[in-house]
Amino acid sequence: MNEPLVIITIEALITVLVVLNAFAFATLWERKLLGRFQARYGPNRAGPVGYMQPLADLLKLVFKEDFVPEGANRVLFQIAPLISVITAVTAIAMIPFGDPIHVDGYTIQLVGANVSVGLLVLFALSGLATYALILGGWASGNKYSLLGAARSAAQLVSYEVAMGLSVVGVLMISRSMSLVDIVHGQESSTWYILLQPVGFIVFLVAAVAETNRPPFDLPEAESELVAGYHTEYAGMKFAMFQMGEYVSMMVISALGATLFLGGYLGPWLPGFVWLVIKIVVLLFLFIWMRATLPRLRYDQLMRFGWKLLLPIATANLVITAIVVAVFFQT
């Protein structure tokens, strides 16, 4: 039977609440891990062991002055942070968290939207998220924000091409664009990271660039751009941009785990627990790279994307196509 409206509503509310809490504590865990990496303490004053720090940050942002700069486009200035959050949270609906469960005669799908082109929808939402950064920088009426937005557009478009090519090998092997089917394909064979190691590495590097994380955080290079595209934002609007970035990290980690690491597959524990574990491992890599690698220059970033990452992704695609045509034909 189809899920009734009340169950769909409950699922949506639970998803939003989980995402909000995950975002809050992801910022805390990142600060604590960075402290350990850099031989110092992270947040440890607000609440037991510092675990009330997210609440303290929220209260600080709520009571900060919320203003619109003179000369800004007021409508787009207000809309840009909302686009960032909405696209990121909506993308979670494409990720399968487990096999369907049966409750009181109803079959509940542990995926928000099991569509046959789920991967394509997810990439489309990722493309829409780019508009949030561009609109935020342009609508601010600040030349530094506009420069950060221009950098964002160039960087995201450049690395989105390599990311798209890196996952085509998985699509060839699984013969489906449904993320649920891709997980089931790994259940009947092996995790696709073993069949597509180069694709996974390219995906991981491109994912760091797509989420504007160090060493690819040129759109927010504080030493050059003040704060990049969100220079003029404060209070909850600034928090929404931060939330969009962290939720995008979680989504892209969930996508990487789904495509290459078997998704929710694993022994003994429930499926969603395995998926969360894999997401946490990939998020740890994001934080580890931030603590370890220096920021690239902009010319290095663009050269790396177009002259190294893209040719590698293309070569991996061609080799995969040949192997699939020769050995996987039925």
Confidence of residue 258 (pLDDT cuts 50, 70, 90): very high
Q: Indicate the pTM of the whole model.
A: 0.91
Q: Count H helices and E strands in the chain, helices first.
A: 13, 2
Q: How much is the mean pLDDT over the chain?
A: 87
For residues 125-135, average pLDDT:
87
Q: Would you give the DSSP letter of residue 304?
A: I
Within 8 A by CB and 6+ apart from 239, the residues are 58, 61
Q: What are the boundaries of each domain within the chain?
A: 5-327
**Rounded CA separation 220/224 (Å):** 8
For residues 212-225, average pLDDT:
77
Amino acid 2: pLDDT: 60
Q: Would you give the DSSP letter of residue 263?
A: T
Amino acid 223: pLDDT: 67
Confidence of residue 21 (pLDDT cuts 50, 70, 90): confident
Amino acid 329: pLDDT: 63
Classify residue 263 by burial, with Cβ atoms within 10 Å: 0-12, 13-18, 19+.
Answer: buried
Predicted confidence (pLDDT) per residue in 84-122, tens digit: 999 988 888 889 988 877 777 677 777 877 888 888 898
User: Does residue 168 carry a pLDDT above 90?
Assistant: yes
Predicted confidence (pLDDT) per residue in 31-86, tens digit: 999 999 988 888 888 888 888 988 898 888 888 888 888 888 889 999 999 999 99
Q: Whats the size of the chain, residue-wise?
A: 330
Query: Looking at per-residue confidence, does 122 or 5 come out higher?
Result: 122
Predicted confidence (pLDDT) per residue in 184-196, tens digit: 999 888 899 999 9
